[in-house]
């Protein structure tokens, strides 16, 4: 399961957002972790078609990192797979653009510090041999970008360079999403968007925390009062999942319908391994059909009877929305 660290300036609403996520999901074993289901309407549709007894969604873990942007907090953000930046758009003196710039500056600075240490050591090793030299050159290049106050994701880095840098866990290479925590006055249709990049997701964290604790009809009523159609929380979860560069494949049958996550670009055996290591070791082939085609066919058995199932081998790159049945022998 991937982890998303909630980051932002003090009082931006990180803990309030985290509280909403906790109510929507379950505590991930620790008080500052929330494990939530990734909303995916395909699960219900397939479970209905196949009369599955169980439905299982993919999950993401959110972490309200103690210490925030302090050195201790920054160290923990390095272990995260993605960052969810929260900026305050409610209340007096709100300056979301300024907050975003401050968070980015902190991340750039943190990367600069960690690369500085690495660069010193790599330069020494570079005198000893070619391998150290390559590493030193990559670090020099990255350092120059950060020194120019730009995040590493904006640098033009190739696959080998990224590999060297990933060893340092740079924060400015992590995928991120931006959450604009807006006030009640800025909600509903016609309200002006906060002055942020277009990809920002506007939510009202305290309203979300309230709604997350209610049953569906009460939640809908409360949201309607604010002119909002759906809870923003699911949009935040879905956006984080997308940012992680994962794809979802599904399995379905009478026992269960389930969504699984795998790295984009993964081949069929790797995807099989997400289900169980035996399925990867003993992988023979995968029966596959795109979700939309399965729905058109009516059911897995009907798709099979009609010859609509593809038979894919070890070299097949799994596609978003594939419904798979792994054939294996151990
Ligand atoms: N009006 C309003 N207040 C909020 C909202 N989100 C958080 N707050 C308040 O802002 C303060 C800081 O929130 P908190 O979640 O603790 O911020 P953190 O420091 O980023 O964890 C608290 O008093 C919250 O009740 C919101 O969406 N609207
Ligand atoms: Mg907090």
| pLDDT at residue 257, as a whole number | 98
More confidently predicted of 92 and 44: 44
- Tell me how far apart the alpha carbons of residues 238 and 39 are, in angstroms, rounded to a whole number: 7
* Residue 229 banded pLDDT, cuts 50, 70, 90: confident
Q: What is the mean pLDDT of residues 143-166?
A: 92
In this structure, which residue's CA is closest to atom 6 in ligand 1?
Answer: 13
Ligand 2 centroid–CA 65 distance in Å is 8
Q: Is the CB of 3 under 6 A from ligand 1?
A: no
Q: Which of 206, 208, 210, 222 to mutate to test the pocket of ligand 1 (most atoms within 8 A of CB)?
A: 206
49 against 221, higher pLDDT: 49
- Ligand 1: residue whose CA is nearest its atom 13: 13
Q: Is the distance from the beta carbon of residue 10 to the nearest atom of ligand 1 less than 6 Å? A: yes
Residue 206 CB–ligand 1 contact under 6 Å: yes
Question: What's the half-sphere exposure (Cβ side, CA atoms, 13 Å) at 98?
Answer: 6
DSSP bridge pairs for 178: 85
Tell me what the mean pLDDT of segment 217-222 comes to. Answer: 87
Point out the least confidently predicted range of 49-58, 239-248, 259-268, 313-322: 239-248
Assess if CATH 3.10.20.30 describes domain 265-328.
Answer: yes
Q: In ligand 1, which atom is closest to the CA atom of 8? A: 20
The H or E element containing residue 301 is: helix 300-305
CATH 3.10.20.30 positions along the chain are: 265-328
> What tokens were used for 294?
């399965």
The CATH code belonging to domain 2-93+175-243 is 3.40.50.300
For the chain, what is the mean pLDDT? 91
Q: Where in the chain is the domain with CATH 1.10.150.300?
A: 96-170
231 lines ligand 1 (CB under 6 A): no
Whether ligand 1 lies within 6 angstroms of the CB of 13 is answered as: yes
3-state secondary structure (DSSP) of residue 296: helix
- Asked if residue 257 has its Cβ within 6 Å of ligand 1, the reply is no
The residues near 88 (Cβ < 8 Å, ≥ 6 apart) are 8, 9, 11, 12, 13, 94, 96, 99, 181
Q: What integer is the mean pLDDT of 277-301?
A: 96
Look at residue 186 in the predicted model and tell me its pLDDT: 72
pTM equals: 0.89
Q: How far apart are CA 163 and CA 143, in angstroms?
A: 15
Average pLDDT over residues 262-286: 96
Gap from CA of 88 to ligand 2 centroid (Å): 13
Q: Is pLDDT at 8 greater than 70 in this prediction?
A: yes
pLDDT at 223: 84
144-149 contacts, C-beta under 8 A, 24 or more apart = 146/108, 146/111, 146/112, 146/115, 146/172, 147/112, 149/105, 149/108
pLDDT at 189: 66
Q: How many helical (H) and strand (E) elements, i.e. helices and strands, does the chain have?
A: 13, 13
pLDDT reported for residue 46: 97
Q: What's the gap in Å between 10 CA and the centre of ligand 1? A: 9
User: Is the per-residue pLDDT at 324 higher than 70?
Assistant: yes
For ligand 1, whether the C-beta of 132 sits within 6 Å is no
Tokens describing residue 286 = 């995968």
185-194 pLDDT, tens digit per residue, is: 777 667 777 7
Residues within 5 Å of ion ligand 2, judged at the Cβ atom: 14-15
* Domain 96-170: CATH architecture, name and number where available: Orthogonal Bundle (1.10)
**Location of each CATH 3.40.50.300 domain in the chain:** 2-93+175-243
Q: Which residue has the higher pLDDT, 185 or 217?
A: 217
28 pLDDT higher than 70: no
């Amino acid at each position: 399961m991937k982890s998303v660290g909630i980051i932002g300036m003090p009082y931006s609403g990180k803990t309030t957002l985290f509280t909403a996520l906790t109510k929507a999901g379950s505590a991930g074993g620790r008080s500052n972790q929330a494990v939530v289901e990734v909303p995916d309407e395909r699960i219900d549709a397939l479970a209905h078609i196949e009369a599955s007894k169980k439905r299982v969604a993919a999950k993401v873990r959110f972490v309200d990192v103690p210490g925030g942007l302090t050195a201790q907090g920054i160290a923990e953000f390095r272990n995260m797979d993605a960052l969810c930046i929260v900026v305050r758009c409610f209340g007096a003196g709100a300056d979301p653009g300024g907050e975003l710039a401050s968070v980015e500056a902190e991340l750039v600075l943190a990367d600069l510090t960690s690369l500085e240490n690495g660069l010193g050591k790599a330069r020494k090793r570079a005198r000893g041999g070619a391998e150290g030299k390559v590493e030193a050159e990559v670090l020099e290049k990255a350092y120059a970008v950060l020194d120019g106050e730009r995040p590493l994701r904006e640098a033009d880095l190739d696959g080998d360079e990224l590999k060297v840098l990933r060893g340092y866990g740079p924060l400015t290479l992590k995928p991120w999403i931006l959450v604009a925590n807006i006030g009640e006055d800025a909600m509903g249709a016609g309200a002006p968007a906060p002055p942020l990049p277009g990809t920002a997701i506007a939510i009202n964290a305290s309203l979300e925390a309230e709604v997350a604790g209610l049953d569906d009809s009460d939640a809908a009523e409360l949201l309607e009062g604010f002119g909002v159609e759906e809870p923003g929380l699911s949009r935040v979860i879905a956006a984080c999942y997308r940012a992680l560069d994962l794809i979802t494949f599904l399995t379905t049958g009478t026992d269960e319908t389930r969504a699984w996550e795998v790295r984009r670009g993964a081949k069929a055996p790797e995807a099989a391994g997400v289900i169980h290591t035996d399925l990867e070791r003993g992988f023979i082939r995968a029966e596959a059909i795109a979700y939309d085609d399965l729905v058109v066919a009516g059911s897995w058995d009907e798709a099979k009877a009609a010859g609509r199932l593809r038979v894919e081998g070890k070299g097949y790159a799994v596609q978003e929305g594939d419904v798979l049945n792994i054939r294996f022998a151990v």
